[in-house]
Amino acid sequence: MIKTITLIGAGNVATHLGKALFNKGFSINQVYSHSKDNAFKLASGLNAMPCNDIKFITDESDLYIIAIKDDAIQSIVNQISFKNKTVVHTSGSIPMDALSGFDNYGIFYPLQTFSKEKELNLNEVPICIEANNEDTNTFLIDLAKNLSENVKEVNSEQRKKLHIAAVFACNFSNYMYTIADDILTNNNLELDILKPLIVETAKKIQDNSPSDMQTGPAKRNDEAVIKNHLEQLADSKDYQEIYQLISKLIIDN
């Protein structure tokens, strides 16, 4: 039974998970961050003890959630002296075996884009679970079900592919909005004009395959329009290359 939790991290994911768990009645014992300010800020809202030195993390919690940058996980793991607790990380790309020095370990991966300043209801967010033994798996699934109705058991290999897919679907799509915003701003237009289009595009794939919903000049193989667009992008070779590559992929598909 998981009752007390230590958060190792105070960034976007740790903030949302910490608040959600606290609101569900779990006790947050400690919040660690290498940034003293970040640790204090998150801990103060969770009635937790802030900590900015990993050696002062106590062994008094039932669960330790490591929610930090991927490239810092192994370093943190190596500095935790106690090994008889349940430890998970929230990364989409780091293997579960990174935690193999602990008796009970696993993955608690919420598949969503997080920003501290934006409130988010985790109820529909997929939470992907993996564990090194059946008991830990059960504990983590029960914990996840306190936060979300969408809990999935996903192994490390599947999770790596899922993370790549998420980068395409979320991070790369968002950068496309950035490009669109740049083009509009340079021509005295605002991104608001595209927002109904963006929303409708996202709505379409709720019940349909994205490939079936593809529209636009590349889908029609309209060479004249594509050529014209490429000419207009001549002052930005990077945007031109992106436009040309994606158009080719759509046409070839």
pLDDT at residue 164 tops 90: yes
Statement to judge: residues 137 and 16 lie in one domain: yes
- pLDDT confidence of residue 231: 97
Statement to judge: residues 140 and 38 lie in one domain: yes
DSSP-derived letter for residue 167 is: I
221: CATH: 1.10.1040.20
pLDDT band at 81 (very low <50, low <70, confident <90, very high): confident
- Burial class, 33, CB count within 10 angstroms (exposed 0-12 / middle 13-18 / buried 19+): buried
Statement to judge: residues 177 and 77 lie in one domain: no
For residues 156 and 144, the answer to whether their CB atoms sit within 8 Å is no
**Number of domains composing the chain:** 2
- pLDDT confidence of residue 3: 86
For residues 58 and 80, the answer to whether their CB atoms sit within 8 Å is no
139: CATH: 3.40.50.720
Answer with the one of 121, 154, 187 that is the final residue of a domain. Answer: 154
- When pLDDT is averaged across residues 210-228 and rounded to a whole number, the result is 96
Statement to judge: residues 24 and 121 lie in one domain: yes
Range of the domain at 212: 159-252
Q: What are phi and psi of 153, to 5 degrees?
A: -90, 115
Statement to judge: residues 74 and 124 lie in one domain: yes
Statement to judge: residues 234 and 184 lie in one domain: yes
The structure's pTM equals 0.88
- Model confidence pLDDT, tens digit, residues 104-153: 999 999 999 888 878 888 998 999 999 999 999 999 999 999 999 999 99
- When pLDDT is averaged across residues 22-34 and rounded to a whole number, the result is 96
Statement to judge: residues 110 and 192 lie in one domain: no
Statement to judge: residues 107 and 165 lie in one domain: no
Answer with the one of 98, 124, 154 that is the final residue of a domain. Answer: 154
Statement to judge: residues 163 and 150 lie in one domain: no
Answer with the one of 154, 172, 188 that is the final residue of a domain. Answer: 154
Statement to judge: residues 138 and 34 lie in one domain: yes
Statement to judge: residues 17 and 124 lie in one domain: yes
Statement to judge: residues 136 and 179 lie in one domain: no
- pLDDT confidence of residue 35: 94
Q: What are phi and psi of 100, to 5 degrees?
A: -65, -10
pLDDT band at 5 (very low <50, low <70, confident <90, very high): very high
CA pair distance 68, 82, nearest whole angstrom = 19
